[in-house]
Amino acid sequence: MPETHIPEAKAIARYVRISPQKARLVVDLIRGLKAEEALHRLRFTQKRIAKLVGKLLQSAIANATDRGELDVDSLYVTRAFVNDGPRQKRIRPAPMGRAFRYQRRTSHIELHVGERPGAPSFTRTVEAPAAPAASSSPALAPKKRAPARKLAAKKPAAKTPAAKKPAAKKPAPKKKPAAPKKKEK
């Protein structure tokens, strides 16, 4: 089967100062979307890397228009992925003269835009099986199925209200005797 070349345009951002794990969260949002819809989704994504991915997508769209063989209105994000870049090793001071090592990760982000071949519709049509030719042979006649039995539905156990306990009577509060009034002189 001969492979057909599908025209694509791409844009790459290298050495981006963000961990690949964080960048993949945003790139996964736009993979397979129409280019215009992907730009809208990136515009309202609350991640720091979303702005850079949006610029990268616009660059890929511009690359597609410069070629002239792709229609801008029918572009899709065909491929989008994030690879690890080099790591910068750093040292942070720690208690008692020690040092903790940590790494600043970088990413290489790559976006490909292109047209979908044939633009398949998303509605699937299912063809009915062809009816067998009418013949006198009973072996070729369709078999009849026995009617399906309905399973008895389990009824949820009815909850009975708990018997209320009679409230214990509280003894009436005792009244304090009135204090005798002092006589004024």
pLDDT digits (tens, 9 = 90+) for 3-48: 666 788 999 999 999 999 999 999 999 999 999 999 999 999 999 9
pTM of the predicted model as reported, rounded to 2 decimal places? 0.60
Q: Is residue 68 part of a domain?
A: yes
Question: At 51, which CATH number?
Answer: 3.90.470.10
158: Cβ–Cβ under 8 A, 6 or more apart, which residues? Answer: none
Q: Is residue 43 part of a domain?
A: yes
Q: Is residue 154 part of a domain?
A: no
Number of domains observed in the structure of the chain: 1
Sign of CA dihedral 85, 87, 88, 93: positive
pLDDT digits (tens, 9 = 90+) for 147-172: 666 666 666 666 666 666 666 677 77
- Tell me what the pLDDT averaged over the chain comes to: 82
Q: Is residue 175 part of a domain?
A: no
User: Which residue's entry shows tokens 């399906």?
Assistant: 148
CB 53, CB 22: distance < 8 Å: no
Q: Is residue 124 part of a domain?
A: no
User: Which position has the higher pLDDT, 126 or 152?
Assistant: 152
Q: Is residue 62 part of a domain?
A: yes
Q: Is residue 64 part of a domain?
A: yes
Enclosing domain of residue 39: 20-115
Q: Is residue 4 part of a domain?
A: no
Q: What is the mean pLDDT of residues 99-120?
A: 88
The C-alpha atoms of residue 53 and residue 59 are separated, in whole angstroms, by: 10
pLDDT at 176 (0 to 100)? 72
CB 77, CB 116: distance < 8 Å: no
With vertex at residue 74, the alpha carbon angle to CA 69 and CA 78, rounded to the nearest 5 degrees, is: 85
